[in-house]
Structure formats: C-alpha cells, structure tokens
Structure 1
C-alpha cells in the first residue's frame, strides 16, 4: 500500500470547511509564499475539456498560470477530460483532432512534458473506477446544490433543450477522482469555484473517516485562487469558441488585427480602466497589458486622451508581438508531424496509469475489497 511518505509532504490532509473568498485570498498568499520557498511539497491537478482549440481567454485565464507554476517547480498534472465532453452534448465531434489541437496549444504556451504529466481521462481506467466508491460519500442534495452543476445544466437546457445527464450531475465527484487519484493537494480555481472544490475536500475527508481514520490516506486539497480575469470576446460577451467571438491562439496576425478592430469600446475619448463601467475598454486594456508587462491602469494612462482608435492600435501591436513566439512554436510543432504529440500523450498516460493503479489498489485494500 502507498504510504503518505510516497507523496509530497504537503499532501497530508488538512481539515475545514469552504473558506470565504477573503479567507481564500489570504490563504493563497500564504501558499504562494510557500511555493516560492519550496515548491516540492505541492502537487497540482488541473485541466480542460477538449472541445476545441484554445483561445486567448484560456491563455490569460488558466494556461499562463499553469506554466508559471510549472516554472516555479510545482509538480503539475494536466488532464484532457475527454469523457467530460459528453456531459452536455450529443455529438462530441472529432476528439482525436481536438485533443491534438489542445496539446499543440499546451506545448506552444510552454507546458513541458518533462515536468508536467499530460494525460486523457479515457486512457486511465483506474482513475475513473474511483468514481464508484466516491459517489457513496456524497448525497444527491449536495450535488443538486452545486452551483457549477446548476449553471451547466441550465446552459445545456438552453442550448440543446435537454435535461441534465447523469454524467453532468456527477461531474463534481468525477473531478474529485481527477484530483485525488494523484494525491493532488493544490487546485488553481477562480473564486466562483470554491464550492466546487469543497466536494473534493468532502470526499477526501469522508473516505478517511470511514476507511482510514487512524492514518488518513487522501489529502484535502486547498484552493489556489488564480489570477484569472474574465476575458471578453469582440462582441462584449465572455470569450467562448461556441459564441464565435474568440481569438484562438493559433490565429494568424491578420485575424488578430481583425479581432481587435471589431472589439467593442465606447464613445468616451479618454481611456480609463473601469471594468464595471467600461467593460469593453477594460477588456482591451487587460489584453494589451498582459503582453506588454504593465498594469491595465498604466496602459490606460499611456493611451490617455488619444481615444479608442489609439487603444486598439496599441493592443493590436501588443497581441501580435506577444503571441508571435507562441505561434512560431506551434507552427513548428504542427509541421513536425504527430509522432512527438503521440509520444507526449503516451508518456503522460503511462505515468497517470501507474499512479492511478496504485491509488485504486490502496482504496480497495482500505475498503476491504481485496479478494
């Protein structure tokens, strides 16, 4: 059986309830300080549903932060949650092609398969088998109250006119399996996802209490509030491939120019960073400042009274120059053929399977199911 010393020291369990946003921010500052001092005690699980190539919102919202954690020395597991593509849609599309595009985006953005384990749900049977005992540890009422489940179910009803699937209903428990199979102890989240992570913490806590009270087996992972701004598309709504308002990372420079040109602003001449009052202008400032390496406020001051035209010119230049290295790496990887991509995924799947098999063996032994 795997012992606690086989996983990083910081994966040892903690206890508690869902923190307030302010408490989570304070704890995140403490965790960031610990990462800076010694990243070896942390294991992060995060990932994406492969529903399409990644766009600018993914880069600013999650991907850049993952690369930052990797570069800091944190052990990172990155799941391509292909099973979850079927949670709210009848047609999953060409998954192999989509996984290829997402993997190209990962590598081009700086994900290093030598330091980060990239794997797919469907290739790790033992991970998914953990869903069964974990489901026994939560109630239907708890899942019904989960804000992510409710929001996704409403979206599925609006877009496809169908009820919530069983897979979507149990999604938070499947996520718990994703995190706990590798004894992940740190999960980058936005503040709206704090209740979602509490399902994973509850599963870990209840499993320990029921089957391993003397020596808790699973950690209760903590939230790392990520600097994940909501990036708007050029129509003023949240950037999403399904809305047709996104700038994909693989887009050309001409497409980047066109995206910024079509982005909404307002009639005020002086440029200021006021996200609530001027969301379109603020969004452009966020995009431009990210690649320029300055704050949105500083970029607004630089443009000053030159107006929206000058702002779009500055942001276009910033995006084109900032994305040029990523796009060059992506083109190089894509032109080299798929053998390297297959090797990356095969290596990640093999490591994930090794860890998941060991965890499932431990779980079965703790539950008295070794025959």
Structure 2
C-alpha cells in the first residue's frame, strides 16, 4: 500500500469521535482528509460550525456517496452512532475497501448485537467480513476493522496478560468502570445535564452496558473458559477519561512479582501500554490527551485477589486514537505515527 500519502474520508463528522479524528489527523504526516460527510443535510464549512477549526480546516460536508468516497479516498472512517453504519457499510465491504468503524455495529455477532444494542443487526454475511481489532494486539484479517469501544479497550488491556496465560478465575472477574461525560456521546438526556453531572457521581446501565459482550467475546478468544464477567459503569463529573478498577482472582498459586513480570513481558514491545511499577496505580490525568493506556497492579496474597487499574483517554485511546493506530497498522506505518502525544496534565 502507498505509505507516502493516504487520503481518508470521515463519515459522521459532528460527533465527538469525528471531531477528534479531524484534530488528530491534522498532524499526521502521511494523511490528507479529502472529504467529510454528515448523515444530516448540513452543508456549512466545518470551521463555521466548529470555530476551533478555523484556519486549520476549510472543508465542507458533502452528501454521503460510497462510490465518490471510494474513488477519492484510500480509507474511510465511520464515526457514526450505533445503528447507522450497519445500513451504509455494504458497498465498502463488497469492494473490500478499507474501513475503520468506530461504531459498535460490527463488533458482535448478530444475536448479541440485537440483544445488547436493541437494534436490527447487519446481515451475518457482512459481519463475518469484519475484524475486531484491539490495536495493541493487531492482526490483519480484513479490510473492515471494527474499532473497540472505550470501556472494552481499557478493560481488555487490563486483563489481557492474565487471560492470555489462562490465569483468570472465570467466576471471579469484577470490573468497576468509570467514564467522563464525553463517553456518553453528544446526544442530550437528563443524566447528562450539567446540574446532574457536576459534583455528582452515579452508576448507570448496571449489568446492561453494550460493551459487556464485546469484552467477554475477546476474553474468550484468549481464555476459552470465560463466559461472563461482572461489569458496572459509573459517570464521573469530568469531560474525558476512563478509570477501570478490576478485581480478579488468580486460578493458581502466584506472587505479586510473578504477576508484575507477566504484565511487563506482555507489554514490553507495545508502545502505547505503560505498566506502572509494582503497587503503583495510575490516575486519569496522566493519560488525558494521549493514546496511552496506563496499567497498575496490586496483589493481596491473603484473598488471592489482584486489583488492576487501567486508565485511558476515552476519546483518543478509546476511539479516534486507536482508530488511527489501526490505520497505521493497516497501511504498514509505524503504529505511533501521528500519535506521539504528551498528556494534558494541567
């Protein structure tokens, strides 16, 4: 594939994911955004709608046209809401045109999608063409990449070393997941009003979050005995960031040092996963504005429970940044290209 200049189109430009793609791709050395597309009829210059893009981008959304996109671009990002992509992806799949899909529409099998998303799924023949790709464990099996969800990314990176070594007690996997408000998308509802979020803390979608089957599906690929997890989600009064607290039992005798080494060995060649020193746990602030996942461990030898903390920026590592990382893999670029970002610490 041509690695000198990659032309891309973005569908779903006005959501948080689409805007974050525009922001990150602006400084990508080999990418040129040739077209942007709304699923609405808006034709205003993007910098008129979003003044922060003035002098950075002068590009107008155009009607969604698969033929035109495939003629002018080398890849298309779908940053649409769940339930939209499944209805517009077929022409790209038929032509094996490179797609990176940030929605949830191609992450699950049809029965699971219908159950958890409460929408009619894409045809199974289309779903079979998609490749679920956690970018740090990338394997190219398809031109259609289903980008993982934000909670799933942070959780799976936190549990991967254990599942890959068959160390998880399948009946003792407890995930307490917390996200900033941007993780809920731009659509307004009562729970996202400032007065309800500010100086507040609330749990939502207990045992019902659509990332549960996505997490279980991938864990089962690594450790086939895993059929379920206990997973809850809470809303933090911050703009962005995900904080995963996982409490898992280890199914054989071990020590804190052995567990620490497993994590360090797993991620030693993964540039975007940073393992903290033993018994040092990360916080959200150290990853906001970056494509890093920071992971820390502390083991209780009395209870045999390992506590794992995994933190990411939900809009970058949990969405647009990981999508670009997957794009870099697909086009045989160094996976860090355009993503060497330092945290917005202050």
Max radius of gyration: which structure? 1
TM-score after normalising by structure 1? 0.23
Structure scoring higher RCO (CA < 8 A, sep ≥ 6) equals 1
Structure number having the greater helix percentage:
1
